[in-house]
Amino acid sequence: MPSNAKIVISQFGAPEQLEILDSDIPSPQEGEVLVKVSYAGVNPIDVKTRAGLGWAAQHNKNNLPWTPGYDISGVVLKQGEGSRKFNLNDMVTGFIGFPLRGGGYSQYVCVPESELALVPEDISLKAAAAIPLAGQTAAQALEKAQIQSGETVVILAGAGGVGHIAVQIAVAAKTKVYATCSADNLEYVNSLGATGLDYANTDCLKEIGHIDVLIDLVGGDTAIQAMKHLHPGSRVITVPTITASSVCEHASQMGIIGMGILVEPDVTQLEELVKLISAGMIKVEIEQVLNYQDVVTAHKKIETGRARGKILLNMQS
């Protein structure tokens, strides 16, 4: 009987606190399926939670060891009672267990079938694992901003996991898109249809002129500095929850509309994103796929804030 390796947070702290434990393969309950996980996405929220920061950490502190991970792709191995949505061996993707249950950093995980979307054969399981949390965060941030064709949209960190999807959705909505990134990623961001701006130039937003919408994927001082280039009536959507209240407070002092966002899993929206990838309308960038044993390296890479696109763990390697 194969065992189920899973990565756990036994105590909050540095990346080295992550451990790999072996457990039994779980059995799906009513309405669930057992997924053999191919790839798990690594997200900034995983890193913050592991460090003991934010809502998921606060609510799981008495529930350690806890398995992080909200993005998975894989294959349906077993169906629980009443499970009708998928067939055995279907390829699936999901934004699972958010924010408290998690569990994606596992070789096998039981998931309510309502949290999963079917992956068509023309999409790789890598791309399918990269889209759930980042894609839905990007889509929901832009929905909340109510972007309109012809508006000027600035995206902070436009080459990252959420950023590169947000850029493509905003370009498709016929807005004028500017995106900050490192010098190494300028060409990449331009290839997505935006104008790349090197964030090492602290005045990079100055030349734009009128900015209607700021999508802040960085938070803190970076967001507050960027708001100097906005005007009363501009909209700011700030994604990092830890600094959201200070960013929104600063916005209101400037007469800017500031809103935080906590992404909400929405399987219908996930199915739409999968269709857009299938149609070639969204291209998913994956910087690196690491063996799950190298999860510490993956977390350190996310902490640098310099990943282009997504970092994935190969859970079967």
Place of tokens 């460090």: 51
- Share of residues in the chain with pLDDT > 70 (%): 100
Tokens at residue 137, please?
Answer: 């965060």
In this prediction, residues 136-165 reach a mean pLDDT of 98
CA dihedral 44, 45, 48, 51 (to 10 degrees): -110
In this prediction, residues 126-153 reach a mean pLDDT of 98
Q: Which of 212, 46, 56, 41 lies closest to 142, judged by CA?
A: 212
Average pLDDT, the chain: 97
Q: Is the pLDDT of residue 140 over 70?
A: yes
Asked if the bond preceding 65 is cis, omega within 30° of 0, the reply is: yes
Q: Where are the alpha helices (DSSP H) in the chain?
A: 44-50, 55-60, 125-130, 132-145, 163-172, 186-191, 220-226, 244-253, 267-278, 295-304
Domains of the chain: residue spans and CATH = 4-131+284-314 (3.90.180.10), 134-260 (3.40.50.720)
* Residues forming a β-bridge with 195: 178
Model confidence band, residue 58 (pLDDT cutoffs 50, 70, 90): very high
The pTM (predicted TM-score) of the whole model is 0.97
- Please write the tens of the pLDDT for every residue from 277-312: 999 999 999 999 999 999 999 999 999 988 899 999
pLDDT confidence of residue 1: 59
- Please write the tens of the pLDDT for every residue from 247-285: 999 999 999 999 999 999 999 999 999 999 999 999 999
- Please write the tens of the pLDDT for every residue from 13-29: 999 999 999 999 999 99
